[in-house]
Structure 1
Amino acid sequence: MSTTESVSPRRHAYTDPSASQLPEPSYAERVRTLVSLGTIATLSTISLKRPGYPFGSLMPYAIDESGRPIFLISNMAMHTQNLQADPRASLFVSQAGDGDPLGTARATLVGDVLPVPEEENSAARERYLARYENSRSWVDFKDFGFYRLQPLDIYYVGGFGVMGWVTADDYLIAKIDPLAEAAPRILSHMNTDHVPAMILLARAHSNLEASEATMTAVDRLGFHLRLKTADGMKGTRINFLRAVQNADETRKVLVEMVQTAEPKLS
Protein backbone atom coordinates (compact mmCIF):
# COMPACT_ATOMS: atom_id res chain seq x y z
CA MET A 1 0.00 0.00 0.00
CA SER A 2 1.49 3.37 -0.98
CA THR A 3 1.81 6.22 1.46
CA THR A 4 -0.42 8.35 -0.76
CA GLU A 5 -3.28 5.92 -0.35
CA SER A 6 -3.34 5.77 3.43
CA VAL A 7 -1.02 6.86 6.21
CA SER A 8 -2.29 4.22 8.63
CA PRO A 9 -4.20 1.15 7.39
CA ARG A 10 -7.93 1.16 8.17
CA ARG A 11 -9.09 -2.02 9.88
CA HIS A 12 -12.31 -3.70 10.87
CA ALA A 13 -13.75 -3.78 14.33
CA TYR A 14 -12.98 -7.11 16.00
CA THR A 15 -15.53 -9.87 15.66
CA ASP A 16 -13.79 -11.99 18.28
CA PRO A 17 -11.01 -10.89 20.66
CA SER A 18 -9.16 -14.16 20.01
CA ALA A 19 -9.42 -13.91 16.23
CA SER A 20 -6.89 -12.14 14.06
CA GLN A 21 -8.07 -8.81 12.71
CA LEU A 22 -8.51 -8.78 8.94
CA PRO A 23 -7.62 -5.62 7.02
CA GLU A 24 -10.22 -4.00 4.84
CA PRO A 25 -9.74 -4.03 1.07
CA SER A 26 -7.42 -1.23 0.06
CA TYR A 27 -8.78 1.83 -1.68
CA ALA A 28 -7.01 0.61 -4.83
CA GLU A 29 -8.91 -2.70 -4.68
CA ARG A 30 -12.18 -0.88 -4.09
CA VAL A 31 -11.66 1.41 -7.07
CA ARG A 32 -10.60 -1.47 -9.31
CA THR A 33 -13.75 -3.36 -8.33
CA LEU A 34 -15.97 -0.30 -8.79
CA VAL A 35 -14.58 0.44 -12.26
CA SER A 36 -14.91 -3.22 -13.30
CA LEU A 37 -18.63 -3.19 -12.47
CA GLY A 38 -19.46 0.10 -14.17
CA THR A 39 -20.60 0.51 -17.75
CA ILE A 40 -21.41 4.22 -18.10
CA ALA A 41 -19.35 7.09 -16.68
CA THR A 42 -18.79 10.81 -17.17
CA LEU A 43 -15.75 11.71 -19.27
CA SER A 44 -14.50 15.27 -18.77
CA THR A 45 -12.23 16.67 -21.47
CA ILE A 46 -10.71 20.13 -21.92
CA SER A 47 -12.94 22.23 -24.13
CA LEU A 48 -11.71 23.49 -27.50
CA LYS A 49 -14.52 26.04 -27.66
CA ARG A 50 -13.86 27.35 -24.17
CA PRO A 51 -10.14 26.70 -23.51
CA GLY A 52 -9.40 25.60 -19.97
CA TYR A 53 -12.98 24.67 -19.14
CA PRO A 54 -14.04 21.04 -18.56
CA PHE A 55 -16.48 19.47 -21.02
CA GLY A 56 -18.50 16.54 -19.66
CA SER A 57 -19.81 13.66 -21.77
CA LEU A 58 -21.76 10.51 -20.94
CA MET A 59 -19.39 7.70 -21.86
CA PRO A 60 -19.80 3.90 -22.13
CA TYR A 61 -16.55 2.10 -21.39
CA ALA A 62 -14.94 -1.31 -21.09
CA ILE A 63 -11.65 -2.08 -19.31
CA ASP A 64 -8.48 -3.86 -20.35
CA GLU A 65 -6.57 -6.44 -18.30
CA SER A 66 -5.02 -3.67 -16.18
CA GLY A 67 -8.29 -1.90 -15.50
CA ARG A 68 -7.67 0.95 -17.96
CA PRO A 69 -10.96 2.28 -19.40
CA ILE A 70 -11.47 1.77 -23.16
CA PHE A 71 -13.77 4.01 -25.24
CA LEU A 72 -15.17 3.62 -28.76
CA ILE A 73 -15.65 7.19 -29.98
CA SER A 74 -16.22 9.08 -33.21
CA ASN A 75 -13.99 11.77 -34.62
CA MET A 76 -17.13 13.85 -35.09
CA ALA A 77 -17.87 13.88 -31.34
CA MET A 78 -16.89 17.02 -29.45
CA HIS A 79 -15.12 15.05 -26.71
CA THR A 80 -12.96 13.29 -29.33
CA GLN A 81 -12.00 16.61 -30.89
CA ASN A 82 -11.13 17.90 -27.44
CA LEU A 83 -8.92 14.85 -26.78
CA GLN A 84 -7.14 15.15 -30.11
CA ALA A 85 -6.14 18.68 -29.13
CA ASP A 86 -5.35 17.86 -25.48
CA PRO A 87 -5.42 14.28 -24.10
CA ARG A 88 -5.78 15.36 -20.47
CA ALA A 89 -9.09 14.15 -19.06
CA SER A 90 -10.86 12.56 -16.11
CA LEU A 91 -13.44 9.79 -15.84
CA PHE A 92 -16.00 9.88 -13.04
CA VAL A 93 -17.39 6.43 -12.15
CA SER A 94 -20.12 5.95 -9.55
CA GLN A 95 -21.73 2.97 -7.87
CA ALA A 96 -25.25 2.11 -8.98
CA GLY A 97 -27.87 2.05 -6.27
CA ASP A 98 -31.21 3.33 -5.05
CA GLY A 99 -30.00 4.86 -1.78
CA ASP A 100 -28.48 8.25 -0.97
CA PRO A 101 -26.05 8.94 -3.85
CA LEU A 102 -23.70 10.73 -1.45
CA GLY A 103 -23.41 7.50 0.53
CA THR A 104 -22.35 5.40 -2.45
CA ALA A 105 -18.86 4.74 -3.76
CA ARG A 106 -17.39 6.77 -6.61
CA ALA A 107 -14.01 7.49 -8.11
CA THR A 108 -12.39 10.02 -10.42
CA LEU A 109 -9.62 8.68 -12.66
CA VAL A 110 -7.35 11.47 -13.88
CA GLY A 111 -5.06 10.81 -16.83
CA ASP A 112 -4.41 10.96 -20.55
CA VAL A 113 -6.82 9.56 -23.13
CA LEU A 114 -4.98 8.45 -26.27
CA PRO A 115 -5.75 6.21 -29.25
CA VAL A 116 -5.18 2.53 -28.53
CA PRO A 117 -1.94 1.45 -30.30
CA GLU A 118 -2.60 -0.46 -33.53
CA GLU A 119 -1.05 -3.67 -32.22
CA GLU A 120 -3.47 -3.62 -29.25
CA ASN A 121 -6.55 -2.62 -31.22
CA SER A 122 -7.80 -6.19 -31.72
CA ALA A 123 -7.75 -6.93 -27.97
CA ALA A 124 -9.49 -3.63 -27.20
CA ARG A 125 -12.14 -4.39 -29.82
CA GLU A 126 -12.79 -7.84 -28.35
CA ARG A 127 -13.16 -6.51 -24.81
CA TYR A 128 -15.40 -3.63 -25.84
CA LEU A 129 -17.73 -5.72 -28.01
CA ALA A 130 -18.00 -8.34 -25.28
CA ARG A 131 -19.63 -5.66 -23.15
CA TYR A 132 -21.50 -3.74 -25.89
CA GLU A 133 -22.62 -6.22 -28.52
CA ASN A 134 -24.80 -3.60 -30.25
CA SER A 135 -21.64 -1.60 -31.02
CA ARG A 136 -20.92 -4.05 -33.86
CA SER A 137 -23.32 -1.92 -35.92
CA TRP A 138 -20.87 1.00 -36.02
CA VAL A 139 -17.50 -0.27 -34.76
CA ASP A 140 -16.11 -0.46 -38.32
CA PHE A 141 -17.25 3.00 -39.39
CA LYS A 142 -14.20 4.99 -40.57
CA ASP A 143 -14.78 7.83 -38.13
CA PHE A 144 -14.82 5.52 -35.04
CA GLY A 145 -11.77 4.40 -33.12
CA PHE A 146 -10.70 2.99 -29.78
CA TYR A 147 -9.19 5.26 -27.14
CA ARG A 148 -7.88 4.36 -23.68
CA LEU A 149 -7.41 6.29 -20.46
CA GLN A 150 -3.99 5.87 -18.86
CA PRO A 151 -4.55 6.81 -15.19
CA LEU A 152 -2.07 9.17 -13.56
CA ASP A 153 -3.92 9.58 -10.26
CA ILE A 154 -7.23 8.51 -8.76
CA TYR A 155 -9.46 9.96 -6.05
CA TYR A 156 -11.81 7.57 -4.26
CA VAL A 157 -14.86 8.31 -2.13
CA GLY A 158 -16.38 5.27 -0.46
CA GLY A 159 -19.31 7.04 1.17
CA PHE A 160 -19.57 9.42 4.10
CA GLY A 161 -16.15 10.01 5.66
CA VAL A 162 -14.31 7.48 3.48
CA MET A 163 -12.03 9.09 0.90
CA GLY A 164 -8.46 9.23 -0.29
CA TRP A 165 -6.02 9.26 -3.19
CA VAL A 166 -4.92 6.08 -4.95
CA THR A 167 -1.77 5.96 -7.08
CA ALA A 168 -2.00 4.71 -10.64
CA ASP A 169 0.56 2.00 -9.87
CA ASP A 170 -1.52 0.67 -6.97
CA TYR A 171 -4.67 0.70 -9.08
CA LEU A 172 -3.14 -1.13 -12.04
CA ILE A 173 -1.94 -4.06 -9.89
CA ALA A 174 -5.00 -4.24 -7.62
CA LYS A 175 -7.31 -7.26 -7.80
CA ILE A 176 -11.05 -7.16 -8.38
CA ASP A 177 -12.92 -8.36 -5.29
CA PRO A 178 -14.19 -11.94 -5.77
CA LEU A 179 -17.67 -10.93 -4.59
CA ALA A 180 -17.95 -8.11 -7.13
CA GLU A 181 -20.54 -9.81 -9.33
CA ALA A 182 -22.43 -11.50 -6.48
CA ALA A 183 -22.59 -8.46 -4.17
CA PRO A 184 -25.88 -6.98 -5.50
CA ARG A 185 -27.66 -10.33 -5.02
CA ILE A 186 -26.21 -10.74 -1.52
CA LEU A 187 -27.29 -7.23 -0.51
CA SER A 188 -30.80 -7.72 -1.91
CA HIS A 189 -31.20 -11.07 -0.12
CA MET A 190 -29.95 -9.78 3.23
CA ASN A 191 -32.01 -6.61 3.12
CA THR A 192 -35.17 -8.45 2.09
CA ASP A 193 -35.01 -11.56 4.26
CA HIS A 194 -32.51 -11.11 7.10
CA VAL A 195 -32.90 -7.73 8.78
CA PRO A 196 -33.27 -9.27 12.28
CA ALA A 197 -30.00 -11.17 11.75
CA MET A 198 -28.18 -7.95 10.81
CA ILE A 199 -29.60 -6.17 13.88
CA LEU A 200 -28.29 -9.07 15.97
CA LEU A 201 -24.84 -8.88 14.38
CA ALA A 202 -24.69 -5.12 14.91
CA ARG A 203 -25.42 -5.61 18.60
CA ALA A 204 -22.94 -8.47 18.99
CA HIS A 205 -20.02 -7.07 17.02
CA SER A 206 -20.42 -3.29 17.17
CA ASN A 207 -22.36 -2.79 20.43
CA LEU A 208 -25.05 -0.87 18.55
CA GLU A 209 -28.75 -1.24 19.29
CA ALA A 210 -30.75 -0.76 16.11
CA SER A 211 -34.40 -0.94 15.12
CA GLU A 212 -33.56 -1.13 11.39
CA ALA A 213 -30.52 -2.36 9.48
CA THR A 214 -29.46 -2.23 5.85
CA MET A 215 -26.41 -3.92 4.36
CA THR A 216 -24.89 -1.32 2.04
CA ALA A 217 -21.71 -3.07 0.87
CA VAL A 218 -20.03 -6.46 1.06
CA ASP A 219 -16.61 -7.73 0.04
CA ARG A 220 -14.45 -10.79 0.67
CA LEU A 221 -13.45 -9.55 4.14
CA GLY A 222 -16.68 -8.15 5.56
CA PHE A 223 -19.67 -5.88 5.16
CA HIS A 224 -21.08 -2.44 5.97
CA LEU A 225 -24.37 -1.81 7.76
CA ARG A 226 -26.45 1.35 7.95
CA LEU A 227 -28.40 1.31 11.22
CA LYS A 228 -31.34 3.25 12.61
CA THR A 229 -30.69 3.75 16.32
CA ALA A 230 -32.19 5.84 19.10
CA ASP A 231 -29.33 8.30 18.49
CA GLY A 232 -29.98 8.58 14.76
CA MET A 233 -28.51 6.85 11.73
CA LYS A 234 -25.15 5.16 12.26
CA GLY A 235 -22.82 3.10 10.10
CA THR A 236 -20.60 0.21 11.03
CA ARG A 237 -18.37 -2.34 9.37
CA ILE A 238 -18.14 -5.94 10.57
CA ASN A 239 -15.49 -8.34 9.33
CA PHE A 240 -16.19 -11.95 8.52
CA LEU A 241 -14.66 -14.71 10.64
CA ARG A 242 -12.56 -15.54 7.58
CA ALA A 243 -12.18 -14.29 4.05
CA VAL A 244 -14.75 -15.57 1.53
CA GLN A 245 -14.49 -16.13 -2.20
CA ASN A 246 -18.09 -16.55 -3.38
CA ALA A 247 -21.74 -16.18 -2.41
CA ASP A 248 -22.00 -19.69 -0.93
CA GLU A 249 -19.06 -19.09 1.40
CA THR A 250 -20.59 -15.75 2.36
CA ARG A 251 -23.88 -17.40 3.30
CA LYS A 252 -22.13 -20.06 5.40
CA VAL A 253 -20.00 -17.61 7.37
CA LEU A 254 -22.97 -15.30 8.03
CA VAL A 255 -25.01 -18.23 9.34
CA GLU A 256 -22.10 -19.19 11.56
CA MET A 257 -21.78 -15.64 12.89
CA VAL A 258 -25.50 -15.40 13.69
CA GLN A 259 -25.48 -18.80 15.41
CA THR A 260 -22.50 -17.73 17.52
CA ALA A 261 -24.04 -14.37 18.42
CA GLU A 262 -27.46 -15.70 19.52
CA PRO A 263 -26.42 -17.53 22.72
CA LYS A 264 -24.10 -14.67 23.75
CA LEU A 265 -26.97 -12.19 23.68
CA SER A 266 -29.73 -14.41 25.07
Structure 2
Amino acid sequence: MTDRGTPERIPEASRAELSPAAAARLLMRRALKASLATLEASTGHPYASLVTIATDVDGTPLFLISTLALHTKNLASDARASVLFDGTDATGDPLAGGRVTVMGRAVRTARGGARERFLGRHAPARGYADFPDFAFYELEVERAHYIGGFGRIVDLRRSDLILDVGDAQPLVAGHDDIVSHMNDDHAAALALYATELAGAPGGPWRMTGIDPDGFDIVCDGQTCRLPFARRVTTPDEARQELVRLAGVARDRQSHS
Protein backbone atom coordinates (compact mmCIF):
# COMPACT_ATOMS: atom_id res chain seq x y z
CA MET A 1 0.00 0.00 0.00
CA THR A 2 1.33 3.42 -0.88
CA ASP A 3 1.48 6.43 1.45
CA ARG A 4 -1.61 7.89 -0.25
CA GLY A 5 -3.65 4.70 0.10
CA THR A 6 -5.25 2.59 -2.60
CA PRO A 7 -7.74 3.87 -5.15
CA GLU A 8 -10.54 1.53 -4.15
CA ARG A 9 -12.27 0.56 -0.92
CA ILE A 10 -10.32 1.11 2.29
CA PRO A 11 -12.14 -0.84 5.03
CA GLU A 12 -11.93 0.59 8.54
CA ALA A 13 -9.99 -2.50 9.62
CA SER A 14 -7.16 -1.73 7.21
CA ARG A 15 -6.73 1.95 8.07
CA ALA A 16 -4.03 1.00 10.57
CA GLU A 17 -1.94 -0.04 7.56
CA LEU A 18 -1.72 3.58 6.38
CA SER A 19 1.38 5.54 7.30
CA PRO A 20 0.84 7.99 10.17
CA ALA A 21 0.95 10.91 7.72
CA ALA A 22 -1.62 9.32 5.40
CA ALA A 23 -3.86 8.37 8.33
CA ALA A 24 -3.69 11.92 9.68
CA ARG A 25 -4.56 13.39 6.28
CA LEU A 26 -7.51 11.01 6.02
CA LEU A 27 -8.81 12.12 9.43
CA MET A 28 -8.56 15.76 8.40
CA ARG A 29 -10.25 15.25 5.03
CA ARG A 30 -13.15 13.26 6.47
CA ALA A 31 -13.90 15.50 9.44
CA LEU A 32 -17.06 17.59 9.67
CA LYS A 33 -16.27 18.92 13.12
CA ALA A 34 -13.23 19.38 15.33
CA SER A 35 -12.12 20.87 18.63
CA LEU A 36 -10.47 24.27 18.37
CA ALA A 37 -8.11 25.19 21.21
CA THR A 38 -7.21 28.86 21.75
CA LEU A 39 -5.58 30.84 24.55
CA GLU A 40 -8.05 32.83 26.64
CA ALA A 41 -7.20 36.48 26.21
CA SER A 42 -7.92 37.49 29.80
CA THR A 43 -6.16 34.67 31.66
CA GLY A 44 -4.00 32.75 29.18
CA HIS A 45 -5.80 29.52 30.02
CA PRO A 46 -6.35 27.02 27.19
CA TYR A 47 -9.93 27.20 25.90
CA ALA A 48 -11.38 24.38 23.78
CA SER A 49 -14.51 24.76 21.65
CA LEU A 50 -16.36 22.83 18.95
CA VAL A 51 -16.26 24.09 15.35
CA THR A 52 -17.43 22.76 12.00
CA ILE A 53 -14.48 22.20 9.71
CA ALA A 54 -13.43 21.70 6.11
CA THR A 55 -10.11 21.53 4.28
CA ASP A 56 -8.84 23.51 1.31
CA VAL A 57 -7.48 21.80 -1.80
CA ASP A 58 -4.03 21.54 -0.21
CA GLY A 59 -5.42 20.20 3.08
CA THR A 60 -5.34 23.42 5.10
CA PRO A 61 -8.07 23.37 7.78
CA LEU A 62 -10.86 25.94 7.26
CA PHE A 63 -13.58 27.11 9.63
CA LEU A 64 -16.27 29.79 9.81
CA ILE A 65 -16.52 31.62 13.13
CA SER A 66 -18.17 34.70 14.59
CA THR A 67 -16.45 37.68 16.19
CA LEU A 68 -18.95 37.28 19.03
CA ALA A 69 -17.50 33.89 19.97
CA LEU A 70 -14.92 33.64 22.73
CA HIS A 71 -12.51 31.63 20.57
CA THR A 72 -12.49 34.40 17.94
CA LYS A 73 -11.81 37.04 20.60
CA ASN A 74 -8.97 34.87 21.86
CA LEU A 75 -7.46 34.61 18.36
CA ALA A 76 -7.57 38.39 17.98
CA SER A 77 -5.23 38.56 20.97
CA ASP A 78 -3.05 35.53 20.17
CA ALA A 79 -3.39 33.60 16.90
CA ARG A 80 -1.73 30.46 18.24
CA ALA A 81 -4.17 27.57 18.13
CA SER A 82 -4.54 23.85 17.69
CA VAL A 83 -7.28 21.72 16.15
CA LEU A 84 -8.06 18.19 17.30
CA PHE A 85 -9.48 15.87 14.64
CA ASP A 86 -11.10 12.89 16.34
CA GLY A 87 -11.57 9.66 14.40
CA THR A 88 -12.67 7.51 17.35
CA ASP A 89 -16.49 7.81 17.07
CA ALA A 90 -17.08 4.13 16.22
CA THR A 91 -14.30 2.77 18.40
CA GLY A 92 -15.24 0.65 21.40
CA ASP A 93 -12.23 1.97 23.29
CA PRO A 94 -11.72 5.58 22.16
CA LEU A 95 -8.10 5.55 23.30
CA ALA A 96 -7.40 2.83 20.72
CA GLY A 97 -8.70 4.98 17.87
CA GLY A 98 -7.02 7.56 15.69
CA ARG A 99 -6.77 11.28 16.33
CA VAL A 100 -4.46 14.08 15.32
CA THR A 101 -3.79 17.45 16.92
CA VAL A 102 -2.72 20.04 14.36
CA MET A 103 -0.90 23.14 15.62
CA GLY A 104 -0.29 26.54 14.07
CA ARG A 105 -1.81 30.00 13.78
CA ALA A 106 -5.51 30.60 13.09
CA VAL A 107 -6.05 33.69 10.94
CA ARG A 108 -8.70 35.14 8.65
CA THR A 109 -8.16 33.52 5.28
CA ALA A 110 -7.65 35.23 1.95
CA ARG A 111 -7.95 31.94 0.03
CA GLY A 112 -10.26 32.41 -2.91
CA GLY A 113 -11.70 28.91 -2.71
CA ALA A 114 -12.19 28.77 1.05
CA ARG A 115 -15.82 29.88 0.98
CA GLU A 116 -17.07 27.23 -1.46
CA ARG A 117 -14.90 24.48 0.01
CA PHE A 118 -16.45 25.13 3.41
CA LEU A 119 -20.04 25.78 2.31
CA GLY A 120 -20.00 22.78 -0.02
CA ARG A 121 -19.41 20.69 3.10
CA HIS A 122 -21.72 22.62 5.42
CA ALA A 123 -24.71 23.78 3.38
CA PRO A 124 -26.69 25.12 6.39
CA ALA A 125 -23.90 27.67 6.95
CA ARG A 126 -24.97 29.51 3.78
CA GLY A 127 -27.74 31.01 5.89
CA TYR A 128 -25.31 32.99 8.04
CA ALA A 129 -21.97 32.97 6.21
CA ASP A 130 -22.51 36.54 4.97
CA PHE A 131 -23.48 37.99 8.34
CA PRO A 132 -21.08 40.86 9.13
CA ASP A 133 -19.83 39.19 12.32
CA PHE A 134 -18.80 35.95 10.58
CA ALA A 135 -15.55 35.29 8.74
CA PHE A 136 -13.66 32.34 7.28
CA TYR A 137 -10.46 31.35 9.05
CA GLU A 138 -7.65 28.97 8.21
CA LEU A 139 -5.12 27.21 10.40
CA GLU A 140 -1.62 27.94 9.14
CA VAL A 141 -0.26 24.50 9.94
CA GLU A 142 3.15 24.28 11.57
CA ARG A 143 3.22 20.73 12.96
CA ALA A 144 1.00 17.95 14.28
CA HIS A 145 0.87 15.11 16.78
CA TYR A 146 -0.80 11.89 15.58
CA ILE A 147 -2.00 9.05 17.80
CA GLY A 148 -3.18 5.93 16.00
CA GLY A 149 -3.80 3.84 19.10
CA PHE A 150 -1.61 2.43 21.82
CA GLY A 151 2.07 2.61 20.89
CA ARG A 152 1.47 4.44 17.60
CA ILE A 153 2.36 8.04 18.40
CA VAL A 154 4.13 10.20 15.83
CA ASP A 155 5.06 13.87 15.45
CA LEU A 156 4.34 15.15 11.95
CA ARG A 157 5.65 18.09 9.95
CA ARG A 158 3.66 20.57 7.92
CA SER A 159 4.86 18.85 4.75
CA ASP A 160 3.33 15.57 5.96
CA LEU A 161 -0.15 17.13 5.97
CA ILE A 162 -0.25 20.00 3.49
CA LEU A 163 0.01 19.25 -0.24
CA ASP A 164 2.15 21.27 -2.60
CA VAL A 165 -0.42 22.23 -5.27
CA GLY A 166 1.87 24.48 -7.27
CA ASP A 167 1.67 22.12 -10.23
CA ALA A 168 -2.11 21.68 -9.87
CA GLN A 169 -3.36 25.22 -10.50
CA PRO A 170 -5.51 24.11 -13.48
CA LEU A 171 -7.31 21.72 -11.11
CA VAL A 172 -7.65 24.43 -8.46
CA ALA A 173 -9.06 26.86 -11.03
CA GLY A 174 -11.57 24.29 -12.25
CA HIS A 175 -12.49 22.99 -8.80
CA ASP A 176 -15.94 24.56 -8.42
CA ASP A 177 -16.99 23.62 -11.95
CA ILE A 178 -15.96 19.99 -11.42
CA VAL A 179 -17.84 19.75 -8.12
CA SER A 180 -20.97 21.40 -9.54
CA HIS A 181 -20.90 19.17 -12.63
CA MET A 182 -20.60 15.99 -10.58
CA ASN A 183 -23.41 17.01 -8.24
CA ASP A 184 -25.74 18.24 -10.97
CA ASP A 185 -25.14 15.56 -13.62
CA HIS A 186 -23.58 12.50 -12.00
CA ALA A 187 -25.47 11.83 -8.77
CA ALA A 188 -25.70 8.13 -9.65
CA ALA A 189 -21.93 7.85 -9.99
CA LEU A 190 -21.42 9.54 -6.62
CA ALA A 191 -23.80 7.05 -5.01
CA LEU A 192 -21.87 4.17 -6.60
CA TYR A 193 -18.55 5.55 -5.34
CA ALA A 194 -19.99 5.58 -1.83
CA THR A 195 -21.68 2.18 -1.80
CA GLU A 196 -19.34 0.11 -3.98
CA LEU A 197 -15.94 1.67 -3.27
CA ALA A 198 -16.28 3.07 0.24
CA GLY A 199 -18.74 0.52 1.64
CA ALA A 200 -21.14 3.26 2.76
CA PRO A 201 -24.95 3.12 2.74
CA GLY A 202 -26.94 4.49 -0.19
CA GLY A 203 -28.31 8.02 -0.23
CA PRO A 204 -28.08 11.41 -1.91
CA TRP A 205 -24.30 11.67 -1.82
CA ARG A 206 -22.75 14.95 -2.92
CA MET A 207 -19.17 15.85 -3.78
CA THR A 208 -17.78 18.55 -1.51
CA GLY A 209 -14.27 18.90 -2.89
CA ILE A 210 -11.59 17.49 -5.14
CA ASP A 211 -7.79 17.69 -4.90
CA PRO A 212 -4.76 16.07 -6.53
CA ASP A 213 -4.99 12.99 -4.30
CA GLY A 214 -8.73 12.30 -4.33
CA PHE A 215 -12.17 13.68 -3.60
CA ASP A 216 -14.65 13.92 -0.73
CA ILE A 217 -18.37 13.17 -0.62
CA VAL A 218 -20.96 13.68 2.10
CA CYS A 219 -24.48 12.45 2.86
CA ASP A 220 -26.61 12.96 5.97
CA GLY A 221 -23.69 13.75 8.24
CA GLN A 222 -21.48 10.93 6.94
CA THR A 223 -18.36 11.49 4.85
CA CYS A 224 -16.27 9.35 2.52
CA ARG A 225 -12.83 9.96 1.09
CA LEU A 226 -12.07 8.36 -2.31
CA PRO A 227 -8.35 8.41 -3.23
CA PHE A 228 -7.12 8.48 -6.81
CA ALA A 229 -4.77 5.87 -8.22
CA ARG A 230 -2.46 8.64 -9.42
CA ARG A 231 -1.96 12.31 -8.69
CA VAL A 232 -4.13 14.57 -10.87
CA THR A 233 -3.31 18.19 -11.66
CA THR A 234 -5.84 19.18 -14.36
CA PRO A 235 -9.60 18.89 -14.83
CA ASP A 236 -9.07 16.41 -17.67
CA GLU A 237 -6.89 14.16 -15.50
CA ALA A 238 -9.54 14.37 -12.79
CA ARG A 239 -12.25 13.41 -15.28
CA GLN A 240 -10.23 10.37 -16.36
CA GLU A 241 -9.86 9.18 -12.77
CA LEU A 242 -13.54 9.80 -11.97
CA VAL A 243 -14.57 7.82 -15.06
CA ARG A 244 -12.17 5.01 -14.15
CA LEU A 245 -13.51 4.80 -10.60
CA ALA A 246 -17.09 4.79 -11.89
CA GLY A 247 -16.18 1.81 -14.07
CA VAL A 248 -14.65 -0.02 -11.11
CA ALA A 249 -17.77 0.69 -9.05
CA ARG A 250 -20.13 -0.55 -11.78
CA ASP A 251 -18.06 -3.71 -12.20
CA ARG A 252 -18.26 -4.41 -8.49
CA GLN A 253 -22.00 -3.76 -8.51
CA SER A 254 -22.53 -6.21 -11.36
CA HIS A 255 -20.63 -8.94 -9.50
CA SER A 256 -22.26 -8.43 -6.13
TM interval, shorter chain, is: 0.5 to 0.7
- 1:147 corresponds to which of 117, 137, 153: 137
Higher-Rg structure is: 1
CA deviation after TM superposition for structure 1 residue 137, in Å: 0.8
| Aligned counterpart, 2:68 | 76
CA deviation after TM superposition for structure 1 residue 185, in Å: 5.6
| Aligned counterpart, 1:40 | 33
Structure 1 residues 26 and 56: CA distance shift in structure 2, 3 A: same
The runs of 4+ residues in structure 1 deviating greater than 4 Å are 180-188
- 2:98 corresponds to which of 93, 98, 105: 105
* 1:55 counterpart = 2:47: yes
Q: SS where residue 114 of structure 2 aligns?
A: helix
Identity of aligned residues (%): 33
What do the CA deviations read for 1:184-236 (whole angstroms, capped 9, x no partner)? Answer: 96499xxxxxxxxxxxxxxxxxxxxxxxxxxxxxx99xxxxxxxxxxxxxxxx
Paired with 1:182 and 1:32, the residues of 2 have a C-alpha distance of 22
Paired with 1:182 and 1:163, the residues of 2 have a C-alpha distance of 32
| Aligned counterpart, 1:128 | 118
| Unaligned stretches of 5+ residues in structure 2 | 4-16, 166-192, 202-225, 228-244
Instruction: Verify the 8 A CA contact 1:37 1:181 in the aligned structure 2.
Output: no
- 1:169 corresponds to which of 159, 167, 188: 159
| Unaligned stretches of 5+ residues in structure 1 | 1-8, 10-23, 189-218, 221-244, 253-266
Instruction: Verify the 8 A CA contact 1:32 1:174 in the aligned structure 2.
Output: no
Paired with 1:125 and 1:156, the residues of 2 have a C-alpha distance of 28
Q: Which amino acid aligns with 1:97?
A: A
CA deviation after TM superposition for structure 1 residue 151, in Å: 1.0
Where do residues 1-266 of structure 1 align in structure 2 (5 Å cutoff)? 24-51=17-44, 53-95=45-87, 96-117=89-110, 120=111, 122-173=112-163, 186=199
> How many pairs were matched up?
168
Structure 1 residues 158 and 62: CA distance shift in structure 2, 3 A: same
Instruction: Verify the 8 A CA contact 1:76 1:143 in the aligned structure 2.
Output: yes
Instruction: Verify the 8 A CA contact 2:84 2:100 in the aligned structure 1.
Output: yes
CA RMSD of aligned residues (A): 3.2
Structure 1 residues 74 and 47: CA distance shift in structure 2, 3 A: same
Structure 1 residues 181 and 68: CA distance shift in structure 2, 3 A: farther
Q: SS where residue 173 of structure 1 aligns?
A: coil
Q: SS where residue 113 of structure 2 aligns?
A: helix
Paired with 1:184 and 1:47, the residues of 2 have a C-alpha distance of 44
Structure 1 residues 74 and 173: CA distance shift in structure 2, 3 A: same
| Aligned counterpart, 2:184 | none
Structure 1 residues 182 and 148: CA distance shift in structure 2, 3 A: farther
Structure 1 residues 32 and 183: CA distance shift in structure 2, 3 A: farther
Structure 1 residues 140 and 165: CA distance shift in structure 2, 3 A: same
What do the CA deviations read for 1:43-80 (whole angstroms, capped 9, x no partner)? Answer: 000011212x1100001111001111111111111000
Q: Which amino acid aligns with 1:127?
A: R
Paired with 1:149 and 1:42, the residues of 2 have a C-alpha distance of 13
Structure 1 residues 181 and 157: CA distance shift in structure 2, 3 A: farther
CA deviation after TM superposition for structure 1 residue 173, in Å: 2.8
